[in-house]
Structure 1
Amino acid sequence: MKTTFFALILLFAGVQFATAQAKLPNSTAKTFTKEEQAVLDISKNKWAWMADKNVDSLNVLFKESCVFVHMGGSWGKTQEINTIKGGNIWYKKADVYGASVNIIGNTAIVLNDIDLLAAVGGNEVIHAFMVTEVYVKENGAWKMGSLTFANHASR
């Protein structure tokens, strides 16, 4: 009887934990339109390009007026490219737990729930973030207009 009671408590706690996890609107469990999937694929590629320090691909993706908001400040495209190229921040690996996209006209807003493994100032750190990416469609191509990292405190 005690074993059954204990198992039920564990089951209940597990269900509560699972339902308490952050839910993203339009999450990866949903079927996406072709356009939504294209934007999510660009976002996924961006994480790989950042890890590989592929500044040539990133330079094409980032609009000239792109804004980057980090924990320690904000800056534009040139500084972000130079930061990646110089290794000041090395986005080694982003584990994406959930992603959503909302397309409004020629603007796409992507939310990524990630754990980011990065080397900052020579020190490796892992940090949970909710990342907001804004893309604008110009001449048939999606370009990044903004990338913002925010603390993710729910994990």
Structure 2
Amino acid sequence: MKAKIIGLFVLLLCVQWLFAQNTDTEQKIIQLSKDKWLWMADKNVDELSKLFHPKAEFVHMGGHWGTERELSIIKSGGIWYKKANIHEVSVNIIDNTAILLNRIDLLAEVGGNEVTNPFEVTEVYIKQNGTWKLGSLSFTRLMTPGGH
């Protein structure tokens, strides 16, 4: 009986540890996303180039393209992601992939015009060699502010 109680206690500790690890990973992904928004606002392509996977895909209202073009657009100011007001965030971890959803209001300058749009943003991160890389960033424009 004593061995069963000790075994149950150890099992509960292991389950608790597994949930704590997942939460730590989720928090790391959320922080990476927040950092990404700041780096985009600052046009910090040096940090972004470390985060973006070389084969990443970026989907915008005006089309889609790869990492090299996204970095070029950010650096030149073709799209200036001035501020992302994040309203909701969720993360789902599947093996070495993290899917983050952000509901945001994005203040941006596009082609010299300042615009604000409500978006649901999907970010896909892939863990390679112990490092999380952004593999996809996709903007879905919501019909109304606040997503209602």
Under a length normalisation based on structure 1, what TM-score does the superposition of the two structures give? Answer: 0.79
- Which structure carries more helix by proportion? 2
Residue aligned with 2:43, SS: coil
In structure 2, the residue matched to 1:10 is none
Q: 2:115 aligns with which of 116, 125, 128?
A: 125
* Whole-Å separation in 1 of the counterparts to 2:85 and 2:130: 29
Q: Let me know the Cα RMSD of the aligned residues.
A: 1.2
In structure 2, the residue matched to 1:85 is 75
* Whole-Å separation in 2 of the counterparts to 1:147 and 1:87: 18
The superposition leaves residues 79-113 of structure 1 with CA deviations (integer Å, 9 ceiling, x where unpaired) of: 00000000000000000000000000000000000
Q: 2:35 aligns with which of 37, 45, 49?
A: 45
Write out the 4+ residue segments of structure 1 that deviate beyond 3 Å after TM superposition: none
* Whole-Å separation in 2 of the counterparts to 1:47 and 1:151: 17
* Whole-Å separation in 2 of the counterparts to 1:97 and 1:152: 13
Q: How does 1:1-155 map to 2 (within 5 A)?
A: 33-153=23-143, 154-155=147-148
**What is the total number of aligned residue pairs between the two structures?**
125
* Whole-Å separation in 2 of the counterparts to 1:100 and 1:47: 16
Give 5+ residue unaligned stretches, structure 2.
1-19
Which amino acid in the other structure matches residue 151 of structure 1?
Answer: R
Residue aligned with 1:78, SS: helix
* Whole-Å separation in 1 of the counterparts to 2:84 and 2:142: 14
* Whole-Å separation in 1 of the counterparts to 2:110 and 2:25: 34
Give 5+ residue unaligned stretches, structure 1.
1-30
